[in-house]
Amino acid sequence: MNRTATDAQLLDPAGSWWDLHIVASPVQEDQIFWRLESFGCQGMASQAHDEGQISIHAYLPCSRATLLDLAALALRLRQDALVAGQPLPKLRWERIEAEDWSSSWKQHWQPQWVGDRLLICPSWLDPPPHPGRLLLRLDPGMAFGTGTHPTTQLCLEALEMRLGGGAGGVTVADVGCGSGILSVAAALLGAKRVYAVDVDPLAVQATLQNRDLNGLTDRIVVAKGSLEHIPEMVEGLVCNILTEVILDMIPQFGLVVKRGGWLILSGILLEQAKLVTEMLEAHEWLVASLWRRGEWCCLNARTI
């Protein structure tokens, strides 16, 4: 997740922000993101390290947290790790001014090739030569989804598989659309209509902006809400959310996806895959494949 400089200035006229930096184990990522969001952070991004750790940056207006608050956050993160029997994360912070905020995370995000057909390029950079690739321009704003996280990449590759080889021209639902990266990718890969929904109004705003940025205004329909806001049955559904949310929605997938349709589900840790698979099978879904990247996996399922 990220936030633009304009939004930052609106939220904090004084222009000062806390830049929080956490080094942790990849298995802790979801818990840390949840803890940071609960704390009030409004911009988050993670990056993998070669030594098997992740680096998470989060941003918070200085007016919303004191040094004592930050110390309490560090204690909560350590307690979360102790309860889960995981390595203790390391948190440090520094104060930055508004003029530094908008570039502090952008400087680490470069164009990236995903799968065989996609090039994800930040909207503020000129794309590199990309023969044979579909260009996806992106400015995530505050919403999750830059294409750097393993779960997003797994979903993008699964969409390429599902929509390639003449299988385009279908309708797709993107539940929990975040920045809209999966919706835009589905449309670029050939989906004739994509319904993007998210309960977060900031995600809805980001998806609308990225839809228009990629010239897909007529093919992506965006709405605030969840499954009940998808106006018709679709051939495919992609969902990159926390496992707990996916489990709650599984009983309703059959009300949205046509018989013979498919699911792409991620945001799932490897250790949670068995639980999700069992729940899918209990509701007449067959998991056709499990793709993994590090500690994360993506389930590709179809109706039985």
Q: What is the pLDDT of residue 259?
A: 95
Among candidate residues 53, 88, 106, the one where a domain is terminated: 106
Q: What are the E-state strand segments in 243-295? A: 257-269, 285-293
Please indicate, yes or no, whether residues 150 and 47 belong to a single structural domain of this protein: no
Q: What is the pLDDT of residue 143?
A: 58
Task: Kindly state the greatest CA–CA separation across the chain.
Answer: 57
Q: What is the CATH number of the domain that holds 37?
A: 3.30.70.260
Give the structural domain span for 174. 112-303
DSSP state of 57: E
Please indicate, yes or no, whether residues 138 and 37 belong to a single structural domain of this protein: no
Q: What is the pLDDT of residue 228?
A: 96
Closest CA to 261 of 227, 235, 281: 235
Please indicate, yes or no, whether residues 19 and 53 belong to a single structural domain of this protein: yes
Kindly state the tokens that stand for 248. 């709650």
Cα angle: 190, vertex 195, 201; to 5 degrees: 130
pTM of the model: 0.72
Average pLDDT, the chain: 87
Task: Give just the sign of the alpha carbon dihedral 90, 96, 102, 107.
Answer: negative
Which residue numbers in the chain have pLDDT < 50? 1-14
- Dihedral through CA 108, CA 114, CA 119, CA 125, nearest 10? 0
Q: What is the CATH number of the domain that holds 288?
A: 3.40.50.150
Q: What is the pLDDT of residue 263?
A: 98
195 sits in which H/E element = strand 193-198
Among candidate residues 44, 79, 106, the one where a domain is terminated: 106
Please indicate, yes or no, whether residues 277 and 128 belong to a single structural domain of this protein: yes
Please indicate, yes or no, whether residues 64 and 41 belong to a single structural domain of this protein: yes
Domains of the chain: total? 2
Q: What is the pLDDT of residue 157?
A: 97
Please indicate, yes or no, whether residues 130 and 187 belong to a single structural domain of this protein: yes
Angle, helices 201-213 vs 181-188, to 10°: value is 30
Q: What is the pLDDT of residue 12?
A: 42
